[in-house]
Amino acid sequence: MRPLAEFDARGIHGVLTDLDDTLSTDGRLDPEAFAAMNRLREAGLRVVPVTGRSAGWCDHFVRMWPVDAVIGETGAFYMLREGGGVRTVFMPDAAALEAARTRRGPIAEAVLREVPEAALAGDQPYRLVDLAIDIAEAVPPVAPERVARIVALLRAHGMHAQPSSIHVNAWFGEFDKGRTALELLAGHFGETDEAARDRWVCVGDAPNDAPLFAAFRNSVGVANLLERADRMPVLPRWITGAPSGAGFAELAAHLLAAR
């Protein structure tokens, strides 16, 4: 990973950003990062959060935040504001949605029986597709080997599973943050995959952001990613000097300077 200062950001016109520990700092939305999102949009750049957070939270984000769309539940859907309402476009097929409806509860119970120091994520009741196991938000940080055990158990039940900085997200169906981002950019913004890979930058901090880093040529990690770099299947090309929300604000300033 190279310092952010080496990133030639001319020609970038959109930002795909993780939320937890990228826009937020210590569990709270960073005011500096929120203001930076607004400055980016005022300058004509598009901003799209790409998060593992629930549909209920994403509905609020797309209605109330200075963003152009939101991708939620680790790529299960994207949401667009249309007039006074919100349109949700799902990625899983009918079979995967049915599996999510009927199988998540029993699988969660089985995982938490074996790893009781974890917990069901606090926003699970507001999720439509994925299962989120809390490993560091409302519980003390779960040891890395126990997080790996949670991932293995979820995969043994036929789910995809990826850790974030606070949750392990699991789902049925063939999607992830990177694939859904490309679907959104093609379907709503008219970007070909090749154009999107060059003209958008993605930023994140955790293993579940790796599909974004793999899908886009312009990829940035906030500095706290270094704490888990050894667990990242794909690393970003550039790294900020500052962590979390301050790191996002650093990236925003870099993009605006290139305008």
Q: What is the pLDDT of residues 189-210, one digit of tens each?
A: 999 999 999 999 999 999 999 9
C-alpha count within 13 angstroms, C-beta hemisphere, residue 74: 27
Cα–Cα separations (whole angstroms), residue 226 to 64, 79, 97? 31, 31, 35
Phi and psi at residue 241, to the nearest 5°: -80, -25
**Domain 2-91+175-257 in CATH: superfamily?**
HAD superfamily/HAD-like (3.40.50.1000)
- Angle (CA) 79 106 122, round 5°: 50
Does residue 212 register a pLDDT over 90? yes
Q: Is the pLDDT of residue 174 over 90?
A: yes
Q: Which residue has the tokens 């917990």?
A: 119
- The pTM score is 0.94
- Answer yes or no: is pLDDT of 259 > 90: no
CATH topology (fold) of 94-171: Hypothetical Protein Ta0175; Chain: A, domain 2 (3.90.1070)
Can you give the pLDDT at residue 203? 98
Percentage of the chain beyond pLDDT 70 is 100
**The pairing of beta strand 2-3 with beta strand 85-90:** unpaired
Query: What pLDDT does residue 197 have?
Result: 93
Residues 106-164 have pLDDT tens digits of 999 999 999 999 999 999 999 999 999 999 999 999 999 999 999 999 999 999 999 99
pLDDT beyond 90 at 83: no
Cα 16 to Cα 61, 155, 203: the distances in Å are: 14, 27, 6
pLDDT tens column, 219-245: 999 999 999 898 899 999 999 999 999
Distances (CA, A) of 172 to 31, 103, 158, 177, 214: 35, 10, 7, 14, 21
Q: Do domains 2-91+175-257 and 94-171 have the same CATH topology?
A: no
Q: Domain-by-domain residue ranges, the chain? A: 2-91+175-257, 94-171
